[in-house]
Copies of this chain bind each other. A is one copy, B any other.
Amino acid sequence: MTKRYLLALLFFTQSIVSCSAPDDVDPLPSWNNGSSRDSIIAFVEAVTDKANANHVPVTERIAVFDNDGTLWSEQPLYFQLYYALAQIENAAPAHPEWSDQEPFKTALAGDRDEILALGTKGLVEIVLATHSGMTNAEFRQSVQGWIASAEHPTTHLAYSQMIFQPMLELLNYLRANDFAVYIVSGGGVEFIRAWAGNVFGVPPENTIGSDLGIKFEETESGPVLRRLPELNFINDGPGKPVGIQRAIGARPIFAFGNSDGDLQMLQWTAAGDGMSFVGIVHHTDADREWAYDRASHLGRLDKALDEGRHRGWTIVDMSSEWAVIYPPE
């Protein structure tokens, strides 16, 4: 652990105990001085200051964060897809027919561009084949086993190590200022819940995502929740404000995303009555992470970048504004 990381931890611990941030500890040590850091701090100081016209009561301090590309990396494929591919590889010996059957054939070959070329239909088929049939508890255990042992194909880091240290500090800073912090992801809600508590400090009830049908089923050893091979809800694009309303029942005042799939969530947050903060992570760092936006087949940032610039949202230039990307090992 570096000193900076220890300081961040210390800050978080102190915040829990004292319920207010000590003035002499930098809450965002991994954010370089610049416009994004300034706008975050200015917003939090305004809404938490009772004397400020923009003061927001604690119960309305709701912050929502996209996950893939906002809280952790998402290249060269969404990490949840690597989980699915690993499950297909594990199950392949029992399914010799997959060697000639799409989308499994392409999944097993493992070429990134060909996997993306399977399109929504093929990817959904891969997800349903690997995310359903078992109980919810079994699925959770499987994801936890994978995330504890799997490593990323190019960085060779653990996936849980590829979270953004500046965002981790931001989550803690918001919680220290009595924000309720939610993950609002296009990814599977139970996939994220399996590890987000330990990694981000976000509890399961604050995790909103896409989901499959689940069914209450009585078995000889008692009732279980069985995961069904059918999509229930896609928490992406215009689905994100819907998912937020269903789970939280109130509009956020703080939102962070990184792609066009977050646009409606950002618009919904910006359209609230009072002051709001809307942020976009712009992946501009090909050296330390990845650089992609308008032309990317995954995590495309195009319309939201235009709208964000037009409306003065906070657009984080990862390359210049983040002192570090991942937490020190």
A interface residues (Cβ-Cβ under 8 A, vs B): 59, 136, 180, 189-190, 193, 203-205, 207, 211, 214-216, 222-223, 225, 238-239, 241-242, 245-250, 264, 267-268, 271
Partner of A214, one of B205, B245, B264, B267: B245
In the assembled complex, the Cα of A223 lies from the Cα of B59 at a distance in Å of 23
In the assembled complex, the Cα of A191 lies from the Cα of B223 at a distance in Å of 30
From A239, which residue of chain B is reached at the shortest CB distance? B216
Partner of A242, one of B203, B215, B245: B215
Q: How many copies does the complex hold?
A: 2
Asked whether B246 lies within 8 Å of A193 as measured between CB atoms, the reply is no
Asked whether A214 lies within 8 Å of B193 as measured between CB atoms, the reply is no
Given contacts A59-B203, A245-B136, A250-B205, contact A223 B268 (CB under 8 A): yes
Asked whether A271 lies within 8 Å of B222 as measured between CB atoms, the reply is yes
Asked whether A249 lies within 8 Å of B193 as measured between CB atoms, the reply is yes
Asked whether A249 lies within 8 Å of B204 as measured between CB atoms, the reply is yes
8 A–B contacts from the bound complex (CB under 8 Å): A189-B246, A205-B205, A205-B247, A205-B248, A215-B238, A215-B242, A223-B267, A225-B245
